[in-house]
Structure 1
Amino acid sequence: MALPLKAEHASETEDFESTAKIVKFVVVKKREEQDHAPREDLLSFEALMLPHLDAAHNLAKWLLRNDEDAQDVVQEAYLRAFKSFGGFRGSNGRAWLLTIVRNTSYTLLKKNRVVDLTTPFDEEIHVSGHESAS
């Protein structure tokens, strides 16, 4: 199943723009905080990763079925990608980023998974056992 790469509705476009602004803000803040990081690396990160923001958001939204969670996952994934960018040696930034988005989405799904701890009540076993004890 192919994922759309662009927003289909005006509200989705606004959400993408909002997420893009937040991601760019985070990159700028990290740039200011990390004087030891070469400026070229930061510019390379922006050039390689920011063009894939729509695809990252669409993948997260498709996996999570929730736009707000998708925005949170994309922001977290971009932070993880930024922190790990020094170790990125590949030529396909899109695949690398979408792998981080996928794994971050799975982590959120796993964290929010509801575990059923109930035991089904079997009336025959529980009621008949109680009556014979009387």
Structure 2
Amino acid sequence: MIKASNFLLNISQNVRCTRQISCTAIRALDQNWREQKGLPGNPNAFGPLTNLPDYSFLDGRPTPLGSNQKRRLKKQQEIAAKIVTLSGELDFAKKRYARIQAEEAAAKENVIKSKLKPKGHLLLKKE
């Protein structure tokens, strides 16, 4: 009995608790395959599960929008408004650039017209 208790004491002194850490790589979604198929990178970002309502009424009444649907709708409206604004700014910049080029061409033409003209017999020879 004494030998067994000494053996158990020796084992308990030699055993140490260690934590196991896993160093395996995380298997992510195959983004190249999704891109080739024309799918979004995040499978939960678009699709019937996210875009359609959670339920429908049997009598055909429209279902109210969910909170995430409202958020996505608002975000899309903001993006559309920004596109319209930037498109207008781009059109304005194009028109302004064309106007500046026309003004520069007119200024060059005025300089050429205002230069000294030949007089006397030189004027008669040109015509």
- Normalising by structure 1, we get a TM-score of 0.26
Q: TM-score, normalised by structure 2?
A: 0.27
Question: Which structure: larger Rg?
Answer: 2
Q: Which has the higher contact order (CA 8 A, sep 6+)?
A: 1
Q: Comparing both structures, which one devotes a greater share of its residues to helix?
A: 1
